[in-house]
Amino acid sequence: MYVAAKNRYDKMIYNRVGKSGLKLPQFSLGFWQNFGFEKDYEEVKEIVLKAFDSGITHFDLANNYGRPFGSAEINLGKILKNELAPYRDELIISTKAGYTMWDGPYGDHGSRKYIMASLDQSLNRLGIKYVDIFYHHRPDYDTPLKETMKALADIVNQGKALYIGLSNYPKERALEAIEVLRGYGVELLIHQPKLSMLNQWVKETELDKMLIKEGVGMIPFSILSQGLLTEKYITEIPLDSRAGNPDVGFLNEDSVTSELRVKLVKLKEIAKKRKQSLAQMAISWASMQNGVSSVLLGVSRIGQLEANLDALNNRFFTDKEIKDINKIL
């Protein structure tokens, strides 16, 4: 029988999410890839339990995570039932709806029909009565925003989710959604955008500043740019990597340009001086951006999780380091 590590909260840092009363761990575990039936269940369980033993209390999912769709939620549901049931009140479990989940006109986008049905399916796969955070996964400009936000507000009122989040919403649409939700008596808790050293649209569009002003937290995903901000692509493209095998990710060989490699080499030099790997420095950088409550770690094995967690030990940057990094980017 699994018993959680007694010292699981000793090293993790917990940050308040916006102006809410909720705190999230500095690092959260994302289930986007490698947590469905494409991965051996025992490996999935090992990573999840190691994460919890290390103080990671937040597991982030979506309806279509895993291959086939829904399998990541099924795997976590099994772990929740067999190992983590006694610790449910120590966990933050989030899921989402917004991308294609099932065939037909009601299995995608942002209609009330889709959102309500998707959450019911997610709760069934997870084997729980509520999720802590429920996200609309992407903006849907063909559905009235009031319809989507009213569905999210009703989900909170029904007790099926404690908080509401948005993902991939640009600044203006996010601000409009915040205002509509408030009209229904619900505050937006958190926004989940893509953010990394190589993709700073959040800062460029001042989405981060708007979220801070409105009291909304931020939890970036793809903080390693699908693996580009590791050292694996500096000299070649491994055949078993996401760029070498596009079927397992969103990269291809064209993603790894000579210009990018020059940047990676220079960034690696800074990381080495900080006694970090390039990936660890990229994680530290993302976690220290303005408005960030937590960052999502995506891992495929225990060793990656342990290496990522080591980034906690060197989170801060000197002014010179920031200046040098910005010059490279």
% the chain with pLDDT above 90: 90
Rounded distance, CA 228 to CA 234, Å?
9
> Please, which pLDDT band fits residue 249 given cuts at 50, 70 and 90?
low
Residue 185 carries which DSSP code? T
Which pair of tokens denotes residue 164? 């509401």
pLDDT digits (tens, 9 = 90+) for 94-115: 999 999 999 999 999 999 999 9
Instruction: Report the SS3 class of residue 24.
Output: strand
> Please, which pLDDT band fits residue 231 given cuts at 50, 70 and 90?
confident
> Please, which pLDDT band fits residue 258 given cuts at 50, 70 and 90?
confident
Query: What per-residue confidence (pLDDT) applies to 257?
Result: 83
Question: What average pLDDT does range 27-42 have in this prediction?
Answer: 97
> Please, which pLDDT band fits residue 244 given cuts at 50, 70 and 90?
very low
- Does residue 239 carry a pLDDT above 80? no
Query: What per-residue confidence (pLDDT) applies to 248?
Result: 54
76: nearest Cα among 134, 89, 63: 63
pLDDT digits (tens, 9 = 90+) for 9-22: 999 999 999 999 99
Question: What average pLDDT does range 295-300 have in this prediction?
Answer: 97
Rounded distance, CA 211 to CA 229, Å?
26
More confident residue, 244 or 126: 126
State the alpha helices, DSSP H only, in the chain: 41-53, 71-79, 112-126, 145-157, 171-183, 201-204, 207-214, 258-273, 278-287, 302-309, 319-328
224 and 196 in contact (C-beta within 8 Å)? yes
More confident residue, 37 or 251: 37
Strand-strand pairing, 27-30 and 58-60? parallel
Q: In DSSP terms, which residues pair with 18 in a beta bridge?
A: none
Query: What per-residue confidence (pLDDT) applies to 232?
Result: 76
Query: What per-residue confidence (pLDDT) applies to 251?
Result: 56
Give CA angle at 178 (176, 181), nearest 5°: 110
93: nearest Cα among 135, 155, 146, 44: 135
**φ, ψ for residue 200, nearest 5 deg:** -110, 35
DSSP letters for 252-304: -GGGS-HHHHHHHHHHHHHHHHTT--HHHHHHHHHHTSTTBS-EEE--SSHHH
- Does residue 245 carry a pLDDT above 90? no
Instruction: State the chain's mean pLDDT as an integer.
Output: 94
Length of the chain: 329
305: nearest Cα among 34, 80, 87: 34
More confident residue, 150 or 243: 150
> Which fold is adopted by the domain 14-227+276-316?
TIM Barrel (3.20.20)
pLDDT digits (tens, 9 = 90+) for 23-33: 999 999 999 99
% the chain with pLDDT above 70: 93
Distance spanning both ends of the chain, measured CA to CA: 48
pLDDT digits (tens, 9 = 90+) for 188-228: 999 999 999 999 999 999 999 999 999 999 999 999 998 99
Element (H, E) at 191: strand 188-192
Rounded to two decimals, what is the model's pTM? 0.94
Rg (CA), the chain: 19
Strand-strand pairing, 131-136 and 161-167? parallel
Query: What per-residue confidence (pLDDT) applies to 256?
Result: 73
Question: What average pLDDT does range 297-315 have in this prediction?
Answer: 97
Question: What average pLDDT does range 248-260 have in this prediction?
Answer: 68
Which pair of tokens denotes residue 264? 């990676």
DSSP letters for 2-15: ----TTTTSS--EE
Instruction: Report the SS3 class of residue 161.
Output: strand
Query: What per-residue confidence (pLDDT) applies to 106?
Result: 98
147 and 111 in contact (C-beta within 8 Å)? yes
pLDDT digits (tens, 9 = 90+) for 112-161: 999 999 999 999 999 999 999 999 999 999 999 999 999 999 999 999 99
CA dihedral 82, 21, 95, 130 (to 10 degrees): 60
